[in-house]
């Protein structure tokens, strides 16, 4: 992750020859600190419902060395980023112009609400702006709230802090745990134990997300698509495990998914059913 972020900053330096070298180095140091203290992360991207932005139900849970220290280091990173962006001449729609942070409380817990100003407007690329609106909502802004749930756990979600209290409570009491989902458990059992990277792809949720994206991108064609809901099945699983014996990669497609494809295609051809939002 650190190397990926360094590549991004090198790209920025190449596009903005006027970017001060000392400010770039300072931002790299701030980046290294927050990445070093991040030990594990899981992320869920849900389809959402109604007119919610697609990222409205996206969230991440992170395990860190010290949650309070992580919030302080995150603030420092944002300050370094904003300092670099001041007066830096970058191509339009290439980077976030600023990221404003506000210390808040969510369910009595320390949190940081960050509002990122996106450098996209109607006078530039209309298609890019429309896609950003679909994923993040209108306004050329992205709001992300990071909450320190306990000493070593952070929750990150793409919503204002005011909308997070009930969500944080559900994560703390375990009612939102993916580990408790019976369908997910079926796939995880077939993947190598102790895998460092694990991807779970819900066919049902993927179909719903694609339908919502296309309906928002081309609203006049939404009725013509008329995609039915894919049946609920265990997710497709991909795992990567690195050990002393080598690198193991495994793809699992549960039988229930394969069994559902034929009837689903027939249903699509028959034109019956309509896609609904998947919670």
- Alpha-carbon distance 42 to 81, whole Å? 25
Handedness of CA 88, 91, 92, 94 (dihedral sign): negative
Residue 211 is predicted with a pLDDT of 83
Give the residue extent of every domain in the chain: 1-176, 178-279
Average pLDDT over residues 182-192: 93
- Write down the pLDDT at residue 10: 74
Q: What pLDDT band is residue 220 in, cutting at 50, 70 and 90?
A: low
Better-scored residue on pLDDT, 96 or 199: 199
* Neighbour order of strands in the sheet with 141-150: 38-44, 59-64, 153-157, 141-150, 109-117, 98-106
Long-range contacts, 129-134 (Cβ 8 Å, 24+) = 130/217, 131/217, 133/53, 133/216, 134/53, 134/54, 134/213, 134/216, 134/217
The predicted structure's pLDDT at residue 267:
84
Lowest mean pLDDT of 57-61, 168-172, 275-279, name the range: 275-279
- Average pLDDT value over all residues in the chain: 83
Q: How many CA atoms lie within 13 A of 18 on its CB side?
A: 7
- pLDDT the model gives residue 275: 40
For the residues 140-163, what does the mean pLDDT come to? 91
pLDDT for res 160: 92
Q: What is the mean pLDDT of residues 96-122?
A: 84
State yes or no: pLDDT of 232 exceeds 60: yes
**What is the structure's pLDDT at 8?**
75
Task: Round the CA-based radius of gyration of the chain to a whole number and report it.
Answer: 21
CB 275 within 8 A of CB 227: yes
In this predicted structure, what is the pLDDT of residue 170?
85
Q: Which of 146, 117, 149, 145 is nearest to 132 (CA)?
A: 117
Structure-model confidence comparison of residues 130 and 205, the more confident one: 205
Contact 107, 169 (CB under 8 A): yes
* Sequence-ordered strand ranges (E) for 14-97: 38-44, 59-64
Q: Is pLDDT of 122 > 60?
A: no
Q: What is the 3-state secondary structure (H, E, C) of 105-155?
A: EECCEEEEEEEEECCCCCCCCHHHHHHHHHHHCCCCEEEEEEEEEECCEEE
Contact 195, 239 (CB under 8 A): yes
pLDDT band at residue 276 using 50, 70 and 90 as cut-offs: very low
């Amino acid at each position: 992750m650190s190397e990926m972020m360094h590549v991004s900053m090198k790209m920025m330096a190449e596009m903005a020859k006027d970017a001060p070298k000392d400010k770039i180095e300072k931002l790299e140091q701030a980046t290294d600190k927050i990445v070093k203290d991040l030990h594990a992360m899981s992320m869920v991207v849900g389809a959402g419902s109604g007119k919610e932005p697609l990222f409205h139900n996206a969230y991440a849970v992170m395990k860190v060395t010290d949650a309070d220290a992580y919030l302080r280091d995150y603030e420092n990173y944002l300050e370094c980023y904003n300092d670099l962006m001041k007066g830096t001449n970058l191509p339009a729609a290439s980077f976030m112009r600023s990221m404003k942070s506000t210390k808040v409380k969510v369910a009595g817990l320390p949190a940081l609400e960050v509002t990122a100003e996106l450098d996209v407007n109607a006078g530039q690329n209309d298609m890019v702006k429309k896609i950003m609106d679909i994923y993040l909502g209108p306004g050329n802004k992205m709001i992300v709230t990071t909450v320190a749930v306990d000493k070593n756990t952070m929750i990150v979600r793409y919503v204002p802090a005011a909308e997070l209290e009930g969500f944080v409570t559900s994560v703390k009491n375990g009612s939102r745990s993916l580990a408790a989902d019976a369908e997910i458990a079926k796939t995880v059992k077939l993947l190598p134990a102790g895998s460092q990277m694990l991807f779970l792809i819900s066919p049902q949720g993927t179909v719903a997300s694609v339908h919502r994206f296309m309906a928002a991108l081309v609203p006049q064609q939404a009725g013509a698509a008329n995609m039915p809901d894919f049946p609920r099945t265990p997710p497709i699983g991909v795992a990567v495990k690195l050990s002393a014996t080598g690198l193991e990669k495994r793809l699992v497609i549960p039988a229930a998914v394969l069994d559902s494809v034929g009837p689903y295609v027939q249903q699509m051809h028959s034109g019956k059913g309509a896609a609904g939002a998947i919670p």
